[in-house]
Structures are given as C-alpha cells and as structure tokens.
Structure 1
Amino acid sequence: MNMKYTIKEIAELTGVAKSTVSKALNGQKGVSEEKRIEIMKLASEYNYIPNAAARALSHNKSETIGILISADYEYTLSTSYWIEIISAVSYEAEKNGYNLLVITQDKDEPLKSLENAILKKSIDGLVVPAEYVRADLIKLLNTSGIPFVIQGRTPLCNHYCVDVRNKEGAYLLTSRLIENGGKNIACIAGPKEFLYNKERVEGFKSALKEQGIKNPPVVHSPYTEEETVKNISVFLKQNPHIDSVFITAGGDFLFFIFDTMRKFGFDLDKIGFAVFDDYKPIHYIIKPVVSARQPIKQMGAQNAKILLQLINNEEPPNSSLFDISIV
C-alpha cells in the first residue's frame, strides 16, 4: 500500500486526539496499551513517517549531537582511536534517533565553528576530547548551557567524563617489559599538559620503583614530526643504553619515534616496546611489542549514552572508567 497518512488522519481514524497519536508513536505515557497497538498498526499499514524537522521543532531540539575534533585532524585521525570513537558515538546516537555532527576547530579561531553550531541550535549536546578543554571553551559551554561530556579527563574541569584507567594500564605494560628482561627502560611520552600522559608516566614510574629504580629516563614531546624527531634525538644521545621503551601514545607518534631510533643505530627487533595503543600495524613492523587494547567502542558508546541522558534531563554517572587489556 503506497498511501501515506498524516498524524491528523491517523487521529481521525482511531478516534483520538493528535496529541494521543503523538504520544503513542513516541513511546510516551498517557495512552492505553490497546489504543497504542491500534495506532502503531495503522501507522505501519499506512507508511506513516514522522517529519524530523517538525518533530525537532516541536521538542525544541535539533536531534543532533556534536563531537569536537582538532583543526590538526591529520594527526587526530592518524590513528584508529578517534575514528573508532566517532564511529561508536555515531552508531549509539543513531540508535536513539540522533545524528552526529563533527565540528572542527579552526587553528586561528578554535571556538568559531562551535559558537556557530550553538548559535544556530544545530546541536543538542557535545562530546569534547579532554585535550581540547580550555578555560574559554568551558566558559562557552557553561554560558550556553549546552550539555557536554568529556572523552578523557582534565584537571581544568570536573565534569561527566569517559576514560580508561591510565595509571593502572601503564603499570601493567611496564611490568610486562620488566618480566621480559628489560633492565634499562625509558619512557617516551606525549605532551606533559595532557592528564593521560601524566598518569601513564606515573604508572610507568610506579612499576619501576617496585624494582628499586627511582629516576628512570623520561622525555615528553608534542606529537608533530618535527618536534618529536628533535626531542627524541636529544633523548637518545643522553640515553644510548636503552633496551626497552614504554610509549604513552600511538599513531604517527610511534613511527616518528621508530624512525629516529633507527637513525641512531638501534635495532628495533632487539628493543622491548610497550605502547599504550593497540595500533595493529606496529605488530607487523617491530618485535617484540606489548600494547594496550582500549575498549574504544564501549567508550564511544558511553559518551553518547551519557550525553543523551543529560539532554533528557536524566542523571548519568559522573565518570565511566574502563580497564585496558594487554595484547
């Protein structure tokens, strides 16, 4: 049957008000089960499809959630991590009738795109990576009143968040390097200002402290190729006897490190590596390597679940912390 009925016509056929039909179609209370079945059956038979724009307008919602990514998305999307996060958020949002809008930050005006989305009421809520949380962003979100959840944690904002247990995970990875015979173990970490790097370095040091090693070599570096090569070169000159390395992040950062180590004469197949990332290509490039598998899909889905609870004025858990598994 190709005929399509409006909500008004379904109301006339079932002898109820349009508001009752709307409640039945949206799963709301105030409709008897018998009448709900009748309405749903009729809507199915006559191909009733609700007008998304009209529904969003009536609920004062865009039925879209946003996720913020860096203007430097060449790095952001250089690992499977953020791709999987975005995919999982999108899937969970779609299951609940929401779309996902990816909002990029301009290098010169990082808040411009987000301000426009908020001004145009294009999004009902926002997923924010912890690395991008700054005072001006917090102020914008609080002033606008838009619900948001943070992927990761930050000392700048105590808010609803989703993360892994970084310190515990780093401890496990470093312990595996020790079990594999590592004696001169170093740590190469991402930017110091990111809380996850700080926690992972703490976990690294904690594992070595148990072995009586109190001041292991640690270097922090931005993720760009130029800065990584420069910082790691200096570090390797100062620590030529490294036999194992714990690296706190993945993606292209790993390959910048590997290339630099090769240039300094390190045989990567004889170096023990532990990486806080399960970036599959590394298992085909170097051996031995121990990596941390993060439950990325579960984390992405949890971001969306928390955000939708906030949008619906429900009270979600303040934080959701996941364990890593060793690969």
Structure 2
Amino acid sequence: MNLKEFSELLGLSPTTVSRALGGYPEVKEETRRKVAVAAREHNYRPNRRAASLATGRAMAIGHVIPTALNHEMVNPVFADFLAGAGEIYAAANYDLILSVVADGDELRAYRQMASTGSVDGIIVHGPRVEERRIDLLRDIGLPFVVHGRAPVEPTDYNFVDVDNVRSFRRATDLLLDLGHRRIALLNGHEVMDFARRRRDGYVSALTARGVQMRPDLMFQGEMSEQNGFRAAQSMLVGPEPPTAFIVSSLIMAMGVQRAAHDIGLTIGRDVSVVTHDDMLGYLGNGEDIPIFTATRSSVRAAGRRCAEILLDRIAHPGAAPVQEVWESDLIMGASTGPAPPS
C-alpha cells in the first residue's frame, strides 16, 4: 500500500498523513491517533522519500564521529546508545546517518549537513571540557541533543546525562566504608566532560574522609580492556599497590580483572573493583549475581530518550529545552569486599 492509497482509505490528504506520522505540531491529536492506529492495523510503513517530499524534512538524524574517536564505533557502549536511538528513529520513520570525519573536521561536517538539508537534527556525542559544537549548532539552527553535558554558556540546550559526580562519589564512599584507603581511579580521557566529573566525584569523596589523593593511582585514557590491564598491572606491582579500583567502564574493568588474575590475586578478596556502565546489551555483568559491583545506568535507555527529545524538538522548535540528569543505581556484585590486612 502506497501513501496515496493509505490516504484515500482514511479520507485524508497525503500531506496530512505524512505530517501526522512525522509528528508535526499543526496536526490535531485526534487525527494523529487515527493515522497511527490505521498504520498499525494495515501494517503501513511510509516510503521515506515520499514522506520527505510531503513534509519538507530529510527524515534523517545525524551522528558525527571524528576519526580520533572512531574506536567508539566498535565500543559496546556506543553501539548500545545507537541501538536505543535507532528504535525511536525507526518508529518515527527516520534514518540514522553516521558520518565519520577527519580529526578537527566536525564543525565543517555540521555546517555541510545544515546547508544541504541532509538531516533534521543532530545527536552530539562525548561533550568536551572545551566544547565548540554547541555554539555552532545554535548558530546554524540545527536542532540537537547532547548525550552528556558541557560547561558552556548559555546552558539552554537539550541534554541527557548521568550524575557522574554523584556516581563516582558513591562508589568511592563504598570502598572507603569497606576500609580501603589506597583506591585507584581508571578513567576516560579527561578532556571529556564526563571523565572530569567522575574524577571530581572520586576526589571529593577522598577529601571528605581525609584520604590523600595519589596521582600514581590515577589513570586517564581510552577505556579499553588493554588499557585497564596495563594500568592495573603497573599499579599492582608497585611498592604500595592499591587495594581497590574504581573503573569508568565494564570493558576496562575486565582488564583489571585479568591483571589481578595474572599475579594470583582474587577479585573481591585480595583487591576490590567497582565499575560503571555495566548494563550493555551484548556484554553482561553476570546473571543471578553480578560479577562486578557497579554504578549502573542504561546507555540504551539514554539513546532512546535523546532520540525522543530530538524528534520532539524537530516537531516543536520553540519548546523549552529538556535537561535530564539521571541517577545511577549502585549494584552490589562479587567484586568488592573489606580491605585486606596490610
């Protein structure tokens, strides 16, 4: 069934049907519901090209990744975000356009997308401490949602973030309560805003308890299994090795587990580990009992929510910004225990 046939079935114009399915605000809610119900009953899926011609939209959302960060494309965290966002795009008949660009070429890519009209909006990934993309997207008028936050002014932009400061403070407090005092932090690149906030949560918890922060027990870099392994291996063979680790991703925590195993240590008994982002579609954290204690927040759910907000802002361009900061859950697993005797 094509758009014309489906429209005739409903007694509506093709433009009205396309706008109802696309979420345009000028379509009455009653009409929108009528079209949505009929589309489900008749298994109608509109042709994207026809929808684009009828609505004047590209029916596509852009995600721009610089080559310096193209490891994110095979990172389960990034893949889970795209899977969540993709569910919302598909339901609204939108395409996802993933553009990989040369380092430093992101701003040009955004300008080109705006000038060619190839996308209706943008999801901004990995906001940085020194962030330039938000101002540019404001200037060129492309609707956007940031996954995370950036310390920029004005702050009136759409975002969905996890309370990284509180998450890492809670994780550090847990280990301090268990008697640990030599607690290592394995973090992402601290040019990224989320990593800076995580470090701040860790440092604030140590400071509040009068525990000295040790730079030799802090690592920042790509959150890979190999980096987790190398950083933990180097720290564990030092003269004053850590008795616990706080790690910014489950993938990195697996590297810590491998390093501990290689020198005969048992996770949860000889050394404790708390990780973040353990809820990934194809990389689980155990079943009945979690392998790792974790601060958990669903990346897939964040992808869905960012997509929902962006599509709503495309349909309602004058609406107030949506700004959501999610709490993480502290999940107790088998990887934490009391600090071992000195």
Using the size of structure 1 for normalisation, the TM-score is: 0.76
CA RMSD of aligned residues (A): 4.1
Asked if structure 1 preserves the Cα contact closer than 8 Å seen for 2:188 and 2:195, the reply is yes
Name which of 76, 96, 102 aligns with 1:100.
96
Name which of 295, 298, 301 aligns with 1:295.
298
Tell me how far 1:93 sits from its aligned partner.
1.8
Alignment match, 1:304? 307
Unaligned 5+ residue runs, structure 1? none
Q: 1:291 to 1:155 in 2, by over 3 A?
A: same
| C-alpha separation in 1, matches of 2:72 and 2:158 | 22
Asked if structure 2 preserves the Cα contact closer than 8 Å seen for 1:167 and 1:202, the reply is yes
Tell me how far 1:54 sits from its aligned partner.
3.5
| C-alpha separation in 2, matches of 1:133 and 1:203 | 16
Tell me how far 1:295 sits from its aligned partner.
2.3
Q: 1:98 to 1:239 in 2, by over 3 A?
A: farther
Asked if structure 2 preserves the Cα contact closer than 8 Å seen for 1:6 and 1:48, the reply is no
Name which of 61, 65, 68 aligns with 1:69.
65
Q: Are 1:23 and 2:16 counterparts?
A: yes
Range moving further from structure 2, 311-320 or 69-78 = 69-78
| C-alpha separation in 1, matches of 2:295 and 2:92 | 31
Name which of 198, 220, 233 aligns with 1:200.
198
Q: 1:72 to 1:135 in 2, by over 3 A?
A: closer
Asked if structure 1 preserves the Cα contact closer than 8 Å seen for 2:70 and 2:100, the reply is no
Range moving further from structure 2, 184-193 or 165-174 = 184-193
Deviations 1:18-61 (A, max 9, x none): 75x64366448688979x979x98xx88x987553243134321
Q: Are 1:119 and 2:115 counterparts?
A: yes
| C-alpha separation in 1, matches of 2:27 and 2:240 | 73
Using the size of structure 2 for normalisation, the TM-score is: 0.73
Aligned residues: 312
Deviations 1:187-224 (A, max 9, x none): 22222222211221222233333433143554232217
Unaligned 5+ residue runs, structure 2? 332-342
Q: 1:78 to 1:239 in 2, by over 3 A?
A: farther
Tell me how far 1:176 sits from its aligned partner.
2.3
| C-alpha separation in 2, matches of 1:134 and 1:58 | 40
| C-alpha separation in 2, matches of 1:88 and 1:169 | 22
Q: 1:50 to 1:224 in 2, by over 3 A?
A: closer
| C-alpha separation in 2, matches of 1:48 and 1:197 | 44
Asked if structure 1 preserves the Cα contact closer than 8 Å seen for 2:15 and 2:54, the reply is no
Amino acid at match of 1:176: L
Tell me how far 1:107 sits from its aligned partner.
3.5
Range moving further from structure 2, 188-197 or 72-81 = 72-81
Asked if structure 2 preserves the Cα contact closer than 8 Å seen for 1:66 and 1:127, the reply is yes
Tell me how far 1:321 sits from its aligned partner.
1.0
Q: Aligned runs of 1:205-224 on 2, under 5 Å?
A: 205-217=203-215, 218-223=217-222
Alignment match, 1:318? 322
Aligned-residue sequence identity (percent) comes to 19
Asked if structure 2 preserves the Cα contact closer than 8 Å seen for 1:160 and 1:318, the reply is yes
Alignment match, 2:338? none
Tell me how far 1:5 sits from its aligned partner.
8.1
Asked if structure 1 preserves the Cα contact closer than 8 Å seen for 2:180 and 2:243, the reply is yes
Asked if structure 2 preserves the Cα contact closer than 8 Å seen for 1:148 and 1:307, the reply is yes
Q: 1:181 to 1:75 in 2, by over 3 A?
A: farther
Tell me how far 1:150 sits from its aligned partner.
0.6
Amino acid at match of 2:16: K
Amino acid at match of 1:311: I
| C-alpha separation in 2, matches of 1:276 and 1:49 | 39
Alignment match, 1:175? 173
SS of aligned partner of 2:205: helix
Tell me how far 1:237 sits from its aligned partner.
6.1
Alignment match, 2:138? 142
| C-alpha separation in 2, matches of 1:211 and 1:33 | 58
Tell me how far 1:240 sits from its aligned partner.
2.9
Tell me how far 1:320 sits from its aligned partner.
0.8
Tell me how far 1:146 sits from its aligned partner.
0.8
Q: 1:325 to 1:63 in 2, by over 3 A?
A: same
